[in-house]
Amino acid sequence: MSFLSNLSWRYATKNFDTTRKVSDTDLEQILEAIRMTPTSFGLQPYHFYVVSNTDILARIGVAAYNQPQLTTASHVIVFVARTDFDNNNEEYFNLMSGGNAEVRAHMKWFEDMVTGFGQSKNADEYLTWASKQAYIAHGFGLAACAELQIDSCGMEGFDPVAIAEILSLPNSQKALVLLPIGYRSEWEAPRGAKVRFSKDDLFTVIK
């Protein structure tokens, strides 16, 4: 199957088959696709919690208004935005330079630019920016699942304050969106044809 037909095969699965679990090998591939997400400046201002503990998933389910995905999925990936810019920035430039002060000095112009960008934003603006990056990762996760013919459902219908408490998130992390993954329940019929605006509606081609 091609990538496009897999995108057509996938749908927002509400009920997963509780007897089937995503293998470690497949999970690793999904996580690797998420890790490979491109971000603005490459800063990766996010973190991901991969939850398979049934007690914790039951609590997340309540925080998600009892939507059945949470208690039937094999795993749930919680996409979290990081707002600790200074730490994130330091980790990033340390990684990029391999901890070598000379190498880091050579890229000072870039570090200064990124630092200036981060410091120019207030907390709300920064969270908005970090959230956009995390949503790109969510898209990569959705696409990776489709490519592996693993079912999933993007989910932002939950109380982020409750999720923060359940996962003991530090103040510098905010839960944005979930990705339950698994295998569609046998009895769940996918909705009919995809409801998507036409190419003409969506694309203005400027030659």
Ligand X SMILES: Cc1cc2nc3c(=O)[nH]c(=O)nc-3n(C[C@H](O)[C@H](O)[C@H](O)COP(=O)(O)O)c2cc1C
Which residues are near ligand X by CB under 6 A?
A: 11-12, 14, 67, 153-157, 177, 194
Give the nearer residue to ligand X in terms of CB position, either 67 or 89. Answer: 67
Tell me how far apart the alpha carbons of residues 80 and 130 are, in angstroms, rounded to a whole number: 9
Residue 151 bridge partners (DSSP): 182
Q: How far is the CB of 92 from ligand X (least distance, A)?
A: 26
Give the nearer residue to ligand X in terms of CB position, either 33 or 177. Answer: 177
Q: How far is the CB of 69 from ligand X (least distance, A)?
A: 7
Cβ–Cβ < 8 Å for 49, 14: no
Q: How far is the CB of 14 from ligand X (least distance, A)?
A: 6
Q: Strand 151-152 relative to strand 46-51: parallel, antiparallel, unpaired?
A: unpaired
Give the nearer residue to ligand X in terms of CB position, either 123 or 195. Answer: 195
Residue whose C-alpha is closest to residue 75's, from 149, 18, 29, 8: 18
Cβ–Cβ < 8 Å for 81, 136: no
Find the helix or strand (DSSP H, E) in which 80 lies: strand 75-82
Give the nearer residue to ligand X in terms of CB position, either 106 or 194. Answer: 194
Q: How far is the CB of 182 from ligand X (least distance, A)?
A: 14
